């Protein structure tokens, strides 16, 4: 639970939770199927896990290299890129799932 408290302290994680909740609300509002909602929730959980790993990378780099360093920048950039890819996957899935439902409504 202490890891969850640390993660909740990250603004990006709170934004991802809010975005995920909004996406979930849209899926429910437009009548998405249970399997579609389940896949979205699983993608969100993977996003949260990658965000936690990215935060861990940043904490380790900040501890080992308090001054700017090329290796530190590269490690942080790679962690952020992983989060970006999951955000893109979540967004793409949400759009592809919602579009037919919205057009039908």
Active site residues: 51
Whose CA is closest to 12, among 82, 60, 94? 82
Whose CA is closest to 94, among 32, 13, 16, 17? 32
């Amino acid at each position: 639970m202490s890891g969850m408290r640390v993660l909740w302290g990250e603004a990006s994680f709170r934004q991802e939770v809010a975005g995920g909740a909004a996406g979930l609300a849209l899926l429910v509002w437009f009548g998405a199927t249970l399997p579609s909602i389940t896949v979205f929730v699983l993608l969100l959980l993977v996003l949260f896990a990658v965000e936690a790993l990215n935060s861990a990378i940043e904490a380790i780099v900040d501890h080992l290299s308090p001054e700017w360093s090329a290796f530190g920048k590269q490690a942080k950039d790679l962690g952020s890129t992983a989060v970006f890819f999951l955000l893109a996957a979540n967004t793409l899935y949400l759009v592809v799932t919602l579009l037919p439902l919205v057009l039908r409504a």
